A and B are shown apart, each in its own frame.
Chain A
């Protein structure tokens, strides 16, 4: 019978709103639901984790495989295809020995082989780079880049290894010498780093990564076997046609494992896997981890001999190339040195007008009686620079500098003694130029001592009538009048007149003149003063 609201209730009792009860019930239900969901989620998480791990394994394997193939291709392109296996073994050996991931080693090795074009040399440099990286605290990629650059003559990157040599000293050394120095400085650092806690952690990480790669490879093989009889392309097509994502297959890994176990059980008695095991045992030599420190000799089969011959040829080519590079670098250095010397000499010439006032130079040179010699030097230096004669230019620049320094010292001597700051700076600059020119091969020239001027007119003896010893032309009849020689005046004979001034007196006089000029005001000062006085 249908329910109806037509009811008279007797003895009402409030029991709480149904909505509250419902809400309470719902909350309880929700709690249970959440618990169930959590359980389900944990299960799902597990499945998802397994799936994700499978995905990561696949990715790791694909990346590793790609890197290995790229390296093999690089090695093959450089004509060293016969070394591809050795390179791979070497990288695996390094990975195990020094706990450095093959992801880092492969590109590094590829870079070295590209530069050296020799497997043997690349091996040596790689070992050096590993030690240097561990010792100097830089990453392997940087160390390999620095060494590969150094191999071709660019030594800029070697600063960070603090080898105790200046760049100039490094530039004089061959790559082999630099490598020996690096080996001497950092040998054993890589092994030591591998023995540390961090190194062991790195080894664990590498082992985990390798496990991922192995599982990834297994997955790829399993998929290709299951769907394409070992052909991955076929398997891919089949998977696509089945419209079932690979993810489902990975998620069903457990089932697959079960299948493999069953298959193994079924076939274990049939000896199907024995052949595979035998093959693996036969190939065991190749699987043996490579130890770069072991002195194992390769077998002497004709193929091996061929490989050795090819390797020797590649090494010889690499050595030859290295020599050529060194020779080229030396030539470049020499040319650069010559260019620098010329530039310095030119700078001397240019700076001579900057460090000193030209008038003062001429004046001083005149005072020293060396006008002609100084000018000659300048002209000769200019000529040498124009002709590109480095040696002569350097020598002449040194002579000119010496002359200038002497002139500067001479001209600036004042009664109070000492030099001004500006003069000191100028002298220092000139000295620096001398030093630099000396480094470039132009020997320094001694700075000439200031010489006393030689008298042309005999000294007039001081007498009672002439206590100052004034020359006799003061007694000429026209004394006190302007001396105007006339062509018509035949009584006069041509006489060479030279005036010599005591340098210190001249300097004093110049200074006094300058001070007087400043006190009186030049034209501009007067104008400025006038402007100020009128207040405009």
Chain B
């Protein structure tokens, strides 16, 4: 879980207004810290991964084609603060996986590691809680193929009691983040604190 900061956005505003070079310097520093993670995450996407039922676009366009290049391009970083999420948190920097196929690759099997249950007879095809494939093992086979390409990993490194949720599990960015072991997070925080110290030194406070 991300370390909580206080005053990061104000610091950034102050840097941009009074010390633009320091702002730029901070952004560069954070980018340099995040680049290896992004590179690593992109590396988890196999170029020759072609499961039998992920070869082409669906007719309705809802199931995207597997395109490794596009998926890699969809993984990136951001050194500017994000908008606050629903819980009111804003992030100083972030790594994101933005493509649809990249999201499938990232999260498939998070909820049902063995695929969804086959829909009983009479279940409407619009019901998304069941697999509507004629192959009852379709989901399981698909997830197994993905697992072979890149195993899913829990990036929530928080210690202590309590269940770890599935929302920090993934095969690309979350796996890279998990394997990083928190070093990148610490480096980002250190960069921000360093910029703050420099700013204080410059303005004499």
Contacts and interface: CB of A to CB of B under 8 A. Distances in A.
Interface in A266-298: none
B189 interface: yes
B197 interface: no
Q: A3, A10, A16 — which one has the most chain B CB atoms within 10 A of its CB?
A: A10
B91 A12 contact: yes
Interface stretch (B99-107, B112-120, B135-143, B146-154): B99-107
A2 B8 contact: no
Nearest to A17: B88
B4 to A, nearest CB: 5
A10 B182 CA distance: 10
A15 B10 CA distance: 11
Contacts of B100: 2
B192 A4 contact: no
A6 B89 contact: no
Contacts of B8: 11, 13
Interface residues of B, number: 46
A14 interface: yes
B66 interface: no
B173 interface: yes
Interface in A363-397: none
Residue among A1, A2, A6, A14 facing the most chain B CB atoms (10 A cut-off): A6
Nearest to B180: A8
Nearest to A7: B96
B48 to A, nearest CB: 23
Interface in B36-83: 74, 81-82
A10 B2 contact: yes
B177 A9 contact: no
B5 A6 contact: no
A203 to B, nearest CB: 70
Contact of B82 (A2, A6, A9, A21): A9
B27 interface: no
B81 to A, nearest CB: 8
A6 B96 contact: yes
B8 to A, nearest CB: 5
Contact of B88 (A6, A9, A15): A15
A488 B28 CA distance: 178
A18 interface: yes
B95 A8 contact: yes
Given A2-B100, A6-B106, A11 B3 contact: yes
Contacts of A8: 2, 94-96, 155, 173-174, 177
Residue with the greatest number of chain A CB neighbours at <10 A, chosen from B8, B96, B167, B189: B96
Contacts of B92: 10-13
B98 A9 contact: no
B131 interface: no
Contacts of A20: 88
Interface in A71-109: none
Contact of B98 (A6, A17, A18): A6
Q: Which 9 A-B pairs have the closest CB atoms?
A: A11-B92, A9-B91, A17-B88, A12-B2, A6-B97, A7-B96, A10-B93, A8-B95, A10-B188
